[in-house]
Structures are given as structure tokens and as C-alpha cells.
Amino acid sequence: MKIKTIIIPVMLFMLILMVAGCVNDHETSNGNSNAGNWLDDYTPVHSIGTGSDKFWINFPAGQSVQHKTWVTESLEEKPVFFVCHRTGCYGCAAQAERVISLGEIYGEDAVFYDLDDDYAGTATAD
């Protein structure tokens, strides 16, 4: 009986923490929103460097990344923007709208790739 009196409050506490994390408005912490002018005041959550030669992330550390040919060829032309999602993903809808807007504005200045994950863990470029 003592175990139930301990387990039930612990489980309720964990459930409350999980729900609180789902409904917390994380967007306001860095000024981002889903409004039409979201890009005007956008600030990245994580900085990956500054300058034209310091934007790469070393992954895995100490090893060079073997990029696909279509990626390196695209990078030789202009900046590349990848959109990674799954078709039918409800949470991806706002992201898709944002990227479509970016593509309409900056399509001549950057290459946009739509990477659709097929639920098997392999993304394909459209």
C-alpha cells in the first residue's frame, strides 16, 4: 500500500511536468513567432559561428564530413537551405509555410531542398 501512495504522486508529478513542457510558449524566449513578419525579429536559438568561413559545425568531431555531390555542387552556386520533415506531420505545417515564404522571397539567392522523411528514417530530396 505504501508503494502506491508513493508511485501515484510521482507519476502525477511527472505527467504535470510533461504537459507543462508541451504547452509552454518557448517562442517568446527568443522573439520568434508565427506571425507574418517573424523573420524581421528572428534570433537563432543556437549560434554556430560568424563570418563567411566560420559557419560550419564539426560533426563528428575530428573527422571530415563526406557530403553528397548534389550538396557540394549546390553550395558552389549559392547558400543551401534544407527543410526536413515528414509528410502528414501536423507540427510541420507552420514550418512549411515559413519555408514557402522564404523560397518566394529568396529563391534566386539560395537553393531550397525539401527533405521528406518517409518514416523509415531515410530522407529524400524533392
Residue 118 has pLDDT above 70, yes or no: no
Cβ contact 115:125 at 8 Å: yes
Query: Looking at the predicted structure, is the pLDDT value of residue 34 above 80?
Result: no
**102-113 confidence digits (pLDDT tens):** 888 888 888 888
Which of 21, 38, 58 marks a domain boundary? 58
The grid coordinates listed for 103 are 523560397
Which of the two residues, 2 and 24, has the higher pLDDT score? 2
Confirm whether pTM is higher than 0.85. Answer: no
35 and 71 both lie in a single domain = no
Average pLDDT over residues 47-58: 61
Write out the residue range of the structural domain in which residue 96 sits: 67-126
Same domain, 41 and 76: no
